[in-house]
């Protein structure tokens, strides 16, 4: 049974969360014995080391909370099942937040991620070739899949290497992955 401590300022809100946790089969514990701590402020959440923290807050805090090591972010109006799922995930070492808040996470992505200028670096056809390169396909296999000549594939590969300023196919794939141009 996962031991959970609720560290929130408002007594009524704390009592409601504790009731939801008991209903879900969690054991309430003091802060120093808890495996998961639920907090309502990011500042307070940062005080806890070596314990999974779930933050009750909104999507605006998501990026900052994850950078601070918080394992879960959930709105205050969440259901018992949603709260239980986030606490279980945090206890298991996972990071959890509502899918509706995913946009906030991607809006807070680091500068090393794809910038709007990167989106137009490669043509759609070159992106398709780069994706197949990432899958480990040789020029002949790419040509067969795309229904084009091997010479045309070589042209696309050379163009990709040039546009990404890459010295090899491996480096081009690596750069494409880091910039978010392709996915594995």
3-state secondary structure of 119: helix
3-state secondary structure of 8: coil
The pTM score is 0.57
Render each residue's pLDDT in the chain as its tens digit; 184 residues. Answer: 899 999 998 999 999 999 999 999 999 999 899 999 999 888 877 788 788 999 988 766 777 777 778 888 888 888 999 999 999 988 988 888 776 666 555 554 444 444 444 546 888 899 999 999 999 999 999 999 999 999 999 999 999 999 999 999 999 998 888 888 888 6
In the DSSP assignment, the letter for residue 99 is: G
3-state secondary structure of 172: helix
Write down all domains in the chain, each with its CATH number in brackets. Answer: 3-107 (3.40.50.2300), 116-178 (1.10.10.10)
In the DSSP assignment, the letter for residue 96 is: B
Sheet with 52-56, edge to edge strand ranges: 27-28, 3-7, 36-39, 52-56, 72-74
């Amino acid at each position: 049974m996962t031991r959970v401590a609720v560290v929130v300022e408002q007594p009524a809100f704390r009592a409601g969360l504790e009731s939801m946790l008991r209903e879900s089969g969690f054991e309430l514990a003091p802060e120093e014995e808890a495996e998961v701590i639920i907090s309502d402020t990011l500042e307070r959440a940062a005080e806890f080391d070596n314990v999974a923290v779930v933050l009750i807050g909104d999507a605006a805090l998501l990026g900052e909370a994850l950078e601070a090591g918080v394992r879960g972010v959930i709105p205050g109006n969440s259901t018992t099942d949603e709260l239980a799922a986030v606490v279980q995930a945090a206890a298991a070492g996972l990071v959890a937040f509502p899918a509706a808040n995913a946009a906030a996470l991607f809006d807070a992505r680091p500068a090393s991620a794809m910038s709007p200028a990167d989106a137009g670096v490669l043509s759609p056809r070159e992106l398709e070739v780069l994706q197949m390169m990432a899958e480990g396909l040789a020029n002949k296999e790419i040509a067969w899949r795309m229904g084009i000549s091997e010479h045309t594939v070589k042209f696309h590969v050379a163009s990709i290497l040039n546009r990404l300023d890459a010295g090899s196919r491996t480096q081009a794939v690596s750069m494409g992955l880091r910039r978010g141009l392709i996915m594995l």
